[in-house]
Chain A
Amino acid sequence: MASDEVKVIGAWASPFVMRPRIALNLKSVPYEFLQESFGAKSELLLKSNPVHKKIPVLLHADKPVCESNIIVEYVDETWSASGPSMLPSTPYDRAIARFWAAYIDEKWFPSLKSILKAEGEEEKKAVLAQVEEGNALLEKAFNDCSKGKPFFNGDHIGYLDIAFGCFLAWLRVTELAGGHKLIDEVKTPSLSKWAERFCNDPAVKPVMPETATLAEFAKKIFAKPPA
């Protein structure tokens, strides 16, 4: 009889890995964190996620669940009685949350990543403009979704908070490197306050890396000569 053991295969610096960890913390579910070494993939990872060979992977009673946002929904549904719902209650609000989570992964984060890789002033400017446009959209989305409450999901951190909030440490690293504020009290006042609330939440604090530590790590991985 398989135990109900929960494990997360991941890496401390990965924003995607943060997602299931925050979700499990929100539901007070204890889990074992299996840290992958940078640059090498473990047997367990390759066996649990043969299709993509990527982290995070959640193992629940040895059954793997892959893809960070899918894992968050799985955690919410499986431990539904153990904490507030991570998705809104109406189908429409849920569709909105999923829409923005997809936007963040498909459009917003790739443009954030490009800031660190951009070469030359022209390219940097263009990419920055993209991210700022995205931030403006997300500021509005926050105001629409939160309806005056502290989080995208209302009173409690939810799916969309996690989907976006997991990138905050990397966002701060990018701001430091570029000398350019992306989320601040002037341009994105609601998001700025939300970011602070999110990062200080007890479910998030233990898994969100310190900006300085992450910045050191970023220097190391981006210092590698192009392949």
Chain B
Amino acid sequence: MGDTEEVKLLGVWFSPYAIRPKIALRIKSVDYDYFEEDLFGSKSELLLKSNPVHKKVPVLIHNNKPILESLNIVEYIDETWNASGPSILPSHPHDRAQARFWSAFVDDKWFPALKAAAITKSEEAKEKGMKEVEGGLLQLEEAFVSISKGKPFFGGEAIGFMDICLGSFVGILKAREKLKGEKLLDESKIPFLCKWANEFLSDDTVKNVVPEIDKVVEFLGELEVRAQSAVSKT
């Protein structure tokens, strides 16, 4: 762990997945060089070389070794710089399993449902999808209450793994509210998560790391225009 440690992060400013390692690196006060990939352009040499299997961001490159997949990267950061800041994952095996379970829920069920509902042209599918998203938020509200035990974050007093995972999507939720009037962070339905979302955004490790909501609004608007004028391709 000498002074010659080189840490690079390849990301895209808008990507919630790329936000995650940024927060983790902040928590551990690790300096790094950030490389912005062109969202609509071609992928850089470095990205294609570092992630030949999926060709996706984020990628963390630590002393020339690439680490892939956002939550993997967060765990890697937590383990590698374990002495440099508070623990990101809980210490007890059962709590760790819970954190991993809920983050898998967010990434494998909840956010894909939101994405699908957002891009579908079918009103029926949209309504059904949004119901699933709202249902997911209710489940996450319940999980938050049980896991946080009255503290401000899933991780307790400080931001932890599950906060980073779900928190990375808060900007999109707030932007969609401004753009579409879609109130997913509804205080009457999920009061604890709404409070948590604001605590998350104002935390020192998150402020200045997540993009400004207005920038996200503008970008989401642009995405819609592009989707309408061309066959969309992910």
Contacts and interface: CB of A to CB of B under 8 A. Distances in A.
B93 A70 contact: no
Interface in A113-138: 137
B69 A102 contact: yes
A64 to B, nearest CB: 9
A78 B101 CA distance: 16
A94 B105 CA distance: 22
Contacts of A94: 75-76, 79
A95 B101 contact: no
A70 B104 contact: yes
Which applies to chain A's interface (DSSP): helix, strand, loop or mixed? helix
Contact of B76 (A51, A74, A78, A91): A91
A73 interface: yes
Contact of A71 (B65, B76, B79, B97): B97
Contacts of A63: 94
Interface string A40-81: 000000000001000000001001011100110110011000
A19 B139 CA distance: 27
A222 interface: no
**For chain B, what secondary structure do more than half of its interface residues adopt (helix, strand, loop), or is it mixed?**
helix
Contact of B75 (A70, A78, A98): A98
Interface string B190-213: 000000000000000000000000
Nearest to B73: A95
B68 interface: yes
Nearest to A137: B53
Given A66-B101, A71-B97, A99 B76 contact: no
Interface of B: 53, 62, 65, 67-69, 72-73, 75-76, 79-80, 93-94, 96-97, 100-101, 104-105, 139
